[in-house]
Amino acid sequence: MAIQKIKSQAVGFSPQNIGKNLIINGAMNVSQKTSSSGAGTGGSGFHLADKWETTKTIYSKNTHRIVADAPSGYPFANSYEINRIGPDDDSTSNPNTTSFWTLSQKINGQDLQHLLKGTSNAKQLTLSFWSKFGGNDASNGVNYTVELVDLDNNRQISKRVETNTDWTRNVITFPADTTGAFDNDNNPSLQINWWLATGSNYNSGTLNESAWASTTDANRSSPSHLTLSRLNEARSFNLTGVQLEVGEVADPEFEVEPYQTTLRKCGGGITPSSDAPPIVNRNLLINGGMDIWQRSTSVTNITGGTEYRTVDRWELDIVDNFGTGAGTWTMARSTDVPTNYNEPNDNPSSEGFKYSTKIDMTATGDQVTGQGNNSNKNLVKLQQKIEGQNLQHISKGYSNAKPLTLSFWVKSTNASNFVVTFTDPTNNRKISKEYTINVASTWEKKTILIPADTVNNNFGTATIDNDNTSGFTVEFWLFAGLGYISGTLATSWGSHADADLAGGMLGSLTSTTDEWSITGVQLEVGDTASGFEFEPYETVLRKCQRYYVDVGDITLVTAAALDTDGGAGTNMGFIQIPFPTEMRANPSISIGSQALYRWTGSQPNQYVQQTTSLLGNGGYTINNKQCAIRFGTYANRTQGISFRCVATGITLESEL
pLDDT tens digits, 184-208: 988 999 999 998 877 788 888 899 9
Cα separation, 653 vs 651, whole angstroms: 7
Question: What local confidence, expressed as pLDDT, does residue 200 receive?
Answer: 80
Question: What local confidence, expressed as pLDDT, does residue 327 receive?
Answer: 92
Question: What local confidence, expressed as pLDDT, does residue 573 receive?
Answer: 64
What CATH number matches the domain at 298-539, 3.40.50.1000, 3.30.310.40, 3.30.530.20, 2.60.120.260? Answer: 2.60.120.260
Q: Is the dihedral of CA 130, 36, 195, 236 positive or negative?
A: positive
Cα separation, 5 vs 97, whole angstroms: 30
pLDDT mean over 23-32: 89
pLDDT mean over 6-27: 59
Distant-in-sequence, close-in-space partners of 633: CB < 8 Å, separation ≥ 6: 568, 569, 570, 572, 612, 613, 614, 617
DSSP state of 6: B
* Range among 187-191, 342-346, 556-560 rated most confident: 187-191
Residue 513: count of CB within 10 angstroms of its CB: 10
Cα separation, 188 vs 12, whole angstroms: 30
Cα separation, 23 vs 192, whole angstroms: 9
Q: Quick: pLDDT tens for 621-649.
A: 889 999 888 765 555 555 556 667 788 89
Cα separation, 31 vs 48, whole angstroms: 6
Residue of 159 and 202 predicted with greater confidence: 159
Q: Quick: pLDDT tens for 61-111.
A: 677 788 888 898 788 888 998 877 654 433 344 556 777 788 999 999 999
Is 50 exceeded by the pLDDT of residue 276?
no
Of 68-72, 121-125, 614-618, 636-640, the one with minimum mean pLDDT is 614-618
Residue of 372 and 249 predicted with greater confidence: 249
pLDDT mean over 210-238: 74
Question: What local confidence, expressed as pLDDT, does residue 133 receive?
Answer: 84
Percent of the chain with pLDDT over 90: 48
pLDDT mean over 345-358: 77
Average pLDDT value over all residues in the chain: 81
Distant-in-sequence, close-in-space partners of 2: CB < 8 Å, separation ≥ 6: none
Helix/strand/coil for 38: strand
Please work out, in degrees rounded to the nearest 5, the angle formed at the alpha carbon of residue 210 by the alpha carbons of 206 and 214: 70
Question: What local confidence, expressed as pLDDT, does residue 374 receive?
Answer: 67
Q: Quick: pLDDT tens for 415-432.
A: 999 999 999 999 999 999
Q: Which fold has domain 27-265?
A: Jelly Rolls (2.60.120)
Is 60 exceeded by the pLDDT of residue 15?
no
Is 80 exceeded by the pLDDT of residue 510?
yes
Is 50 exceeded by the pLDDT of residue 269?
no
Residue 485 phi/psi, 5° resolution? -115, 0
Question: What local confidence, expressed as pLDDT, does residue 491 receive?
Answer: 96
Report the chain's terminal Cα–Cα distance, integer Å.
57
Question: What local confidence, expressed as pLDDT, does residue 95 receive?
Answer: 53
Question: What local confidence, expressed as pLDDT, does residue 141 receive?
Answer: 62
Is 50 exceeded by the pLDDT of residue 403?
yes
Of 82-91, 142-151, 573-582, the one with minimum mean pLDDT is 82-91
Is 80 exceeded by the pLDDT of residue 260?
no
Burial class (CB in 10 A: 0-12, 13-18, 19+), 557: middle
Confidence category of residue 525, pLDDT binned at 50, 70, 90: very high
Provide the residue type at 82 as one letter.
I
Question: What local confidence, expressed as pLDDT, does residue 21 receive?
Answer: 92
Helix/strand/coil for 326: coil
Same fold, 27-265 and 298-539: yes
Residue of 228 and 331 predicted with greater confidence: 331
pLDDT mean over 344-366: 81
Helix/strand/coil for 192: strand
pLDDT mean over 467-472: 95
* Range among 28-42, 473-487, 638-652 rated most confident: 473-487
Tell me the C-alpha to C-alpha distance, in Å, between residue 102 and each of 95, 99, 130, 188, 237: 13, 10, 17, 17, 11
Helix/strand/coil for 106: strand
Confidence category of residue 14, pLDDT binned at 50, 70, 90: very low
Question: What local confidence, expressed as pLDDT, does residue 348 receive?
Answer: 54
Is 70 exceeded by the pLDDT of residue 214?
yes
Q: Where are the domains of the chain?
A: 27-265, 298-539, 546-653
Is 50 exceeded by the pLDDT of residue 616?
no
Question: What local confidence, expressed as pLDDT, does residue 272 receive?
Answer: 37
Q: Quick: pLDDT tens for 285-339.
A: 999 999 999 999 999 999 999 999 999 999 999 998 887 789 999 999 999 999 8
Question: What local confidence, expressed as pLDDT, does residue 375 receive?
Answer: 73
Percent of the chain with pLDDT over 70: 76
Question: What local confidence, expressed as pLDDT, does residue 562 receive?
Answer: 47
